[in-house]
Amino acid sequence: MNNIVDQQRAYLAQLLEAIQRSAWFLDQSQCKLTWPVSGDNLAKHRKDVDLFETLAAINERFAKLQDSLGAAMRHAALLMGEDPDNFLQLLATFEKWGILDSVETWQQCRVVRNMAAHDYDLDYAGIAEHLNTLQSLTPFLFTTARHFVHMASSKLGLEPASGHFRSEFNELTH
């Protein structure tokens, strides 16, 4: 039985590393742009492959960070004896513990990231608005990630599986 717990702890350590990696790559992609992004500028550069690859990376990395955080929260809850099945209730618990500043903001992040996955907006002003919203919500995800990684260390004695992104993550989120 202990082996199963060890496997679950090792998996959470991998998720912690995924969180750090996702945050760092999201930041690196966002640093390639001048914010706020304007629809006029996007229209002007509509055939700039590097620009639109960066925009796609920001969408994907924002989603990956939130997905990694959500998976890690569920997994940590399981290891701490909390019910991971009701995610909204779990989010409220993490808010109460100070890991999450706001359940409402978490849900806003989710709605915005889902819009990008399902909305193929051809209006450059709409694309710019979406990207600016992602960029404005990124500090919330970074703060949540920092609090969660700290909680995993203090409550569960877990660190990310490797230290490959530790210093960059700490610099980015402090």
Asked if the model's pLDDT at residue 163 lies above 80, the reply is yes
Yes or no: say if 148 and 67 are a contact pair by the CB < 8 Å rule: no
Burial category of 111 from C-beta neighbours within 10 Å (exposed 0-12, middle 13-18, buried 19 and up): exposed
Q: Find the helix packing angle between 103-118 and 49-79, rounded to 10°.
A: 140
Instruction: Give residue limits of the domains in the chain.
Output: 14-173
Yes or no: say if 75 and 40 are a contact pair by the CB < 8 Å rule: no
Q: What is the DSSP letter of 165?
A: T
Share of the chain above pLDDT 90, in %: 83
Measured CA to CA, the distance from residue 110 to residue 31 in angstroms comes to 22
Question: Mean pLDDT across the chain, nearest whole number?
Answer: 92
What is the model's pLDDT at position 117?
59
78-97 pLDDT per residue, tens: 999 887 788 999 999 999 99
Asked if the model's pLDDT at residue 44 lies above 60, the reply is yes
Q: List, as one string, the DSSP characters of 32-87.
A: TS-SS--HHHHHHTTT-HHHHHHHHHHHHHHHHHHHHHHHHHHHHHHHTT---S-H
Q: Which of 91-100, 108-117, 134-143, 160-169 bottoms out in mean pLDDT, i.e. has the lowest?
A: 108-117
Give the pLDDT mean for 96-103: 95
What is the model's pLDDT at position 83?
79
110-123 pLDDT per residue, tens: 999 887 655 556 78
Asked if the model's pLDDT at residue 153 lies above 70, the reply is yes
Asked if the model's pLDDT at residue 1 lies above 70, the reply is no
Q: Which residue has the tokens 């945050």?
A: 23
Q: What's the pLDDT band for 26 if we cut at 50, 70, 90? A: very high
71 Cβ contact list (under 8 Å, min separation 6): 15
